[in-house]
Amino acid sequence: MPTPRFAIWTFSLAMMALATGVTPAQNYPTRPVRIVTSEPGSTNDLVARLIAQGLTVSLGRQVIVDNRAIRAGEVVAGAQPDGYTLLSYGTPLWIMPFLRDNVPWDPVRDFSPVTWATSSPNILVVHPSVRVNSVSELI
């Protein structure tokens, strides 16, 4: 037989669970989603268009690619943080504060990474007349 203390504790937990209330999930999206990216024809643009195509199918709503070139970070940082404006950009977003004075956004403070969409290798090449076989020889 449960003790009065156990019964009171169980009753209290049940009341707290009921007091939290139930909120139905909100529909998302209820309007078009925008992916802001760099200039048309760039790798970022291609990736954004592939993502937009997939999201349009899975969300059942239009996903628009908005090319803003170097201003993409500024546009997204100034947008409402409501999940309707996404950013598809690469390394320049993270190094821009070191390259320009008075960048109106901070990549760590103003953006929340959602996924790693792509990875692209970099290659360092020199003209055959440059007689080096490694980076250390080049430097």
Per-domain boundaries in the chain:
33-110
Q: Which fold has domain 33-110?
A: D-Maltodextrin-Binding Protein; domain 2 (3.40.190)
Residue 59 has pLDDT above 90, yes or no: yes
pLDDT for 4 equals: 64
* Choice between 120 and 44, residue whose per-residue pLDDT is larger: 44
Task: Report, in this order, helix, strand and coil percent for the chain, each rounded to 5.
Answer: 40, 10, 45
pTM of this prediction?
0.69
Backbone angles phi, psi at 41, to 5 degrees: 90, -5
Q: CA-CA distance, 38 to 61, in Å (whole number)? A: 22
Query: Which residues of 1-139 form beta strands (DSSP E)?
Result: 33-37, 63-67, 85-88
pLDDT for 23 equals: 62
**pLDDT tens, 8-53?**
666 555 555 555 666 667 789 999 999 999 999 999 999 999 999 9
Residue 96 pLDDT grade (very low, low, confident, very high; cuts 50, 70, 90)? confident
Backbone angles phi, psi at 37, to 5 degrees: -145, -175
